[in-house]
Structures are given as C-alpha cells and as structure tokens.
C-alpha cells in the first residue's frame, strides 16, 4: 500500500513538472533576444585574477543566430566564454522549467527573480538564477551553476533604458574550475606561476566593454 502511495505521488509530481508553464516575463525577454539575427561590436577586455597581470586587450565580438558568440583578436583568446552569451542562447537551447523566487533589488532596480531548471540532460548547466528588469525586458544579473566549470555570476549594465544588449559585462568565477590556457593570454601578460600552485580556490573577474554595437533584426 505504501509503495502504491509513493508511485501515485511520484507520477503526480511528474505531471506537475511537465505541465508547468514558463514564466511569461522571461518569454517576453526571450522573444526580444530571438529577434536579434546578428550583432557585432568592438570589445575591451580586462581581467582581475590574482596571479595574472594583463593590460587591457582589444578585439571584436560577433554573434549570428543559432551559433556561439565569437571573439576575434590579434592578441588574446577570450576565456571563459560564458559571459559572452548575451542573447541567453545557451540557457534557452534545451527544454527547461522556471520557478518564481519573488522580487529583489539590484543596483536600485526592482527585479523579478526566477530559477531556470533544465529538463534535458543535454544542458550544460544544472540551474540558473536570473534577475529580470521586467519593465525594460532584459536580464541584469545571472548566476549559472554549470556541470563542469563551477558557478558564474554575470552582471550586465546597459547604457540606455531600451538597449537590448549591455554596454559592460562583469563575469565572476572560480579560477580553479575554469581551464585557462595561459599561453593564449596575449603579449605583455605576466603570470605568477608560484601563486597558481598555492592551494585554495581563487576568484577571477573578467570585465568586458562593448562599443560601436551594430544589431541586425
């Protein structure tokens, strides 16, 4: 009898999950991002990692719908690439459900906070928390727990109220969880290899500044 009760509850839970609707405000943001066929921009890259001393790097970023965002430069390779998913393409790639977590202020903006939980094993993250500026229909903060590279916290600041893409992006991550091929960090970059070998997780930050953004819809 207990086993039958357990199975009943299990199937009820499955039905609730499969029938759960996606947050409507998120769908509006997704539709806005889906309307972008491509964009390109100039990009500046700065890093704040304890064992790396690197001057500002410059390059170009390009996105074409259905493909990963690409960065080109004569002097560096962009790592990690998680912060470049400005259209949320990776989050929306596979089926998911959403959970409303209420409201919270971020930089004086009242945000609607939701969890995104993928329902497909193909997704490369286990859970994401999005802070949505519902009035401006955009994401201003996200916390993404990946399956292999740890947690990324991404802050996006916009130049104008109605901009779909941010002007600056800050990506925080645990250095120990991200593989950084040091030889690709570019010229004039100093690396303290002794500090790398010290125990303990290190927090890294990457700062991106976009300019001359051109969007095709």
Domains of the chain: 23-216 (2.50.20)
Stated length of the chain: 217
DSSP bridge partners of 209: 44, 168
User: Residue 104 forms beta bridges with which residues?
Assistant: 111
- According to DSSP, residue 23 is labeled P
Handedness of CA 52, 53, 59, 61 (dihedral sign): positive
Question: Which residue ranges of the chain lie beneath pLDDT 50?
Answer: 2-19, 183
pTM of the model: 0.84
Instruction: Judge whether 34 and 56 are in contact, CB under 8 Å.
Output: no
Q: In angstroms, what CA-CA distances link 43 with 66, 126, 130? A: 21, 29, 24
Query: What confidence score (pLDDT) does residue 8 get?
Result: 41
Position of tokens 């964009």? 39
Q: Which helix (H) or strand (E) holds 11?
A: helix 2-18
Beta bridge partners of 100: 114
Strand 109-118 with 203-216, pairing: unpaired
What pLDDT score does 150 carry? 84
Q: What is the overall mean pLDDT for the chain?
A: 83
Residue entry with tokens 């998120």: 26
How many Å separate Cα 120 from the centre of its chain?
18
Reported in sequence order, the residue ranges of the chain that DSSP labels E, i.e. its strands, are 38-48, 52-53, 57-64, 70-72, 96-106, 109-118, 125-133, 138-146, 151-157, 168-174, 190-191, 203-216
Which pLDDT value is given to residue 70?
Answer: 85
- Which pair of structure tokens corresponds to residue 151? 């947690």
């Amino acid at each position: 009898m207990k086993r039958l009760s357990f199975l009943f509850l299990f199937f009820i839970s499955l039905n609730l999950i499969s029938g759960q609707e996606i947050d409507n405000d998120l769908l509006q943001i997704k539709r806005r991002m889906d309307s972008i066929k491509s964009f390109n921009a100039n990009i500046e890259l700065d890093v704040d990692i304890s064992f790396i001393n690197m001057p500002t790097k410059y390059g170009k970023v390009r996105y074409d719908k259905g493909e990963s965002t690409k960065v080109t430069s004569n002097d560096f390779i962009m790592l990690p690439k998680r912060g470049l998913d400005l259209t949320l393409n990776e989050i929306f790639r596979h089926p998911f459900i959403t959970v409303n977590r209420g409201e919270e202020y971020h930089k004086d903006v009242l945000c609607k906070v939701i969890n995104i939980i993928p329902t497909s094993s193909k997704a490369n993250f286990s859970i994401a928390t999005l802070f949505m500026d519902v009035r401006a229909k955009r994401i201003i903060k996200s916390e993404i727990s990946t399956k292999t590279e740890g947690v990324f916290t991404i802050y996006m600041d916009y130049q104008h109220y109605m901009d779909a893409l941010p002007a600056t992006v800050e990506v925080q991550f645990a250095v120990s969880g991200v593989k950084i091929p040091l030889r690709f960090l570019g010229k004039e970059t100093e690396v303290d290899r002794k500090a790398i070998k010290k125990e303990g997780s290190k927090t890294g930050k990457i700062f991106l500044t976009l300019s001359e953004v051109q969007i095709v819809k």
